[in-house]
Structure 1
Amino acid sequence: MSIPRLVVALVTVAALSGCGWSPPAPPPTSTAAECGPGPAADVVAAEIAMLPPAEWEETERGHSADCRLNWVVVSSGHFDAPQQVLFFDGTEPVGSPTPEPRRFITVIPQGRSDAVVQYQWRQGQDEPCCPTGIGTARVTLEEGRLTILDPIPGP
């Protein structure tokens, strides 16, 4: 194998063996301006107040294409700190798919009115930065309630 081919092969292997894995997010289906601001800060704060005590801070917001299903992801600190995802029907709280905070949560809009919550967790000898356990659960709104369409994955 020539030196340039060896370098390309080593760079490819290094890139593919990075820490953790996340599927690519789909392109945005609408803009925040089309959907409005989502749940107000005081509504989010009231939902955060019901979580286990921690220094929670908002780290991400999103919404479904039809703007009805909104979510706010909160974290209690550093990169692998516990997180929680809070869902809203427009601006009204409807809960979370997991009763307890989890690490490594990502929410991805799917279709017109649904989302996929991706959970990751460490397995075996995984480094704290690099969880290899991964699974998803689809969520939607039915009659103003959060409905979890798949079993919540995890250890």
Structure 2
Amino acid sequence: MRLLAVVLGGLTLAGCGFSPPAPPAVTTAVCTDADAPAPETVQRAIAALPPAPWVETSRGHANDCRLQWVEVTQEQATASTPGQVLFFDRNTPLGTPTPEPRPYITVVPSGPDGVTVQYQWLVGDEPSCCPTGLGTVRFRIGSDGALAALDPVPNQG
């Protein structure tokens, strides 16, 4: 019976694609409003994105409170609607990890001075609900003060 449950569970995942649940980004630091980008700074960064009615969906920071992020997507979005992550060194915009918005992005738990972005993409003719392509990229502020990717950004998406 237990083997049957495992097999059926595996078939369910295989039939609908692999979409691992992304735990909420959590930190143990207590950051203040002074550590976060000002609302005007975030709005200017959003205005620099390709035209769309963008809305903020979440925000957070690395444990040291320096690297801040804001995730945005388009109004009335679905899972496959492109979104973007905006990065800040406190109130200084650092840009985005990819030049164009991508679908299926999620910020996952962060580290002491970095943030991890999970990318997913469709493989073959998968339905848009169930991407099986998966990659994560760790970001931090480099010694030059710019956003630095510690892993290669997947070119799918």
Report the TM range for the smaller structure's normalisation: 0.7 to 0.9
The corresponding residue for 1:106 is 106
What code does the residue aligned with 1:36 have? T
1:94-143: CA deviation from partner (whole Å, max 9, x where unpaired): 11110111111111243200111111111112111111111122111023
Alpha-carbon shift at residue 22 of structure 1 (Å): 2.8
CA contact (8 A) 1:119 1:154 kept: no
TM-score by structure 2 length? 0.82
3-state secondary structure, aligned to 1:123: coil
Deviation of 1:26 (Å): 7.4
Alpha-carbon contact 2:73-2:81 (below 8 Å) kept:
yes
Q: What secondary structure is seen at the aligned counterpart in 2 of 1:154?
A: coil
* Larger CA Rg, structure 1 vs 2: 1
Which residue of structure 1 aligns with residue 32 of structure 2? 36
What code does the residue aligned with 1:125 have? D
Match of 2:9 in 1: 12
* Superposed displacement of residue 40, structure 1: 1.9
The corresponding residue for 1:120 is 120
Q: What is the number of equivalent residue pairs in this alignment?
A: 150
Unaligned runs of 5+ in 1: none
5+ residue gaps in structure 2? none
Give the structure 1 partner of residue 73 of structure 2. Answer: 75
Judge conservation of contact 2:25–2:110 (CA < 8 Å) in 1.
Answer: no
Q: Percent identity?
A: 47
Structure 1 residues 140 and 6: alpha-carbon distance in aligned structure 2, compared to 1, 3 A threshold: closer
Change in 2 beyond 3 A, CA 1:126/1:110: same
Change in Cα spacing, 1:50 to 1:148, as seen in structure 2 (3 Å) is same
CA RMSD between the two structures: 2.4
Q: Is the 8 A contact 1:117 1:138 kept in 2?
A: yes
> Aligned AA for 1:118?
Q
Match of 1:154 in 2: 155
Kept in 2, the 8 Å contact 1:64–1:112? The answer is: yes
How far apart in 2 are the matches of 1:26 and 1:73?
Answer: 13
TM-score (norm 1): 0.83
